Amino acid sequence: MTNNSTKRRVFGLQILNSSHRDIRRLKQAGHVAELHGNKFWNSSFLLMNHLKRHPLKKHSRVLEIGCGWGLLGIYCARNFSARVTAVDADKHVFPYLKLHSELNGVKIKAEQSSFQHLTKTWLSKFDVILGSDICFWDDMSIALYNLIRRALQAGVKQVIISDPCRPPFTELASRCQEKLPNARTVSRRMSHPVRASGELLIIDNR
């Protein structure tokens, strides 16, 4: 990781710190996240580290759910020429996503929607669904389980969700492993370029 006071580079991506003038400008313009999408969360780096070792197919159609500032999607667009759509329930995250996608030279399609509203027909447009740190309230566990089931029925080939192992995520992971044929969790810890630990829930649609 390279770092100066307002910018850093992680996994080849440029990231602006909260003190950067463009981030401060967006906050002053009233873009204040309402559902914790106020920064890049470290679980996204755990998932990037996994994708570095297990790359996606070039030009995969990727959906990032609960994208926040969208770094995972930006990583996929840059490294796998993925066609990325990012969704989040909170519209205030999108200016930060746009800022970072432009900074990193990629285009991401962004849409405001919540887990519950992504239909099977709409999900059928994607090969892979990714999400990081999106299961932190109790009701998210069942909403995400239902979303994963719809995605598998729609033909999505793989779903990966990373998390620092909050209880709703652990419940989601247990439910998936109990009820879905190809669901597994893997524990991950990294100290470089960012310190992070947690689990990945990986569901393959075979």
Q: Which of 127, 133, 163, 199 binds ligand SAM (CB under 6 A)?
A: 133
Residues 147-206 that bind ligand SAM (CB under 6 A): none
Sign of CA dihedral 84, 1, 25, 90: positive
Q: Does 40 bind ligand SAM (CB under 6 A)?
A: yes
CA distances from 83 to 36, 45, 62, 72, 91 (A): 25, 20, 6, 12, 21
Q: Say if CB 158 and CB 203 are below 8 A apart.
A: yes
- Residue 28's SS3 state is helix
Under the binding rule (CB under 6 A), the answer on residue 31 touching ligand SAM is: no
Query: Which residue's CB is nearer to ligand SAM, number 125 or number 182?
Result: 125
Interatomic CA distance for residues 137 and 115, integer angstroms: 13
Residue choice 11, 16, 41, 101 for contact with ligand SAM (CB under 6 A):
41
Distance of closest approach, residue 44 Cβ to ligand SAM, in angstroms: 4
Do the Cβ atoms of 8 and 15 come closer than 8 Å? yes
- Which residue in 10, 11, 16, 43 binds ligand SAM (CB under 6 A)? 43
Find the part of the chain contacting ligand SAM (CB under 6 A) among 10-18, 75-83, 84-92, 120-128: 84-92
Strands (E), 75-133: 83-88, 109-112, 128-132
The answer to whether residue 44 forms part of the interface with ligand SAM (CB under 6 A) is yes
> Under the rule (CB under 6 A), what is the footprint of ligand SAM?
35-37, 40-41, 43-44, 66-69, 88-90, 93, 114-115, 132-134
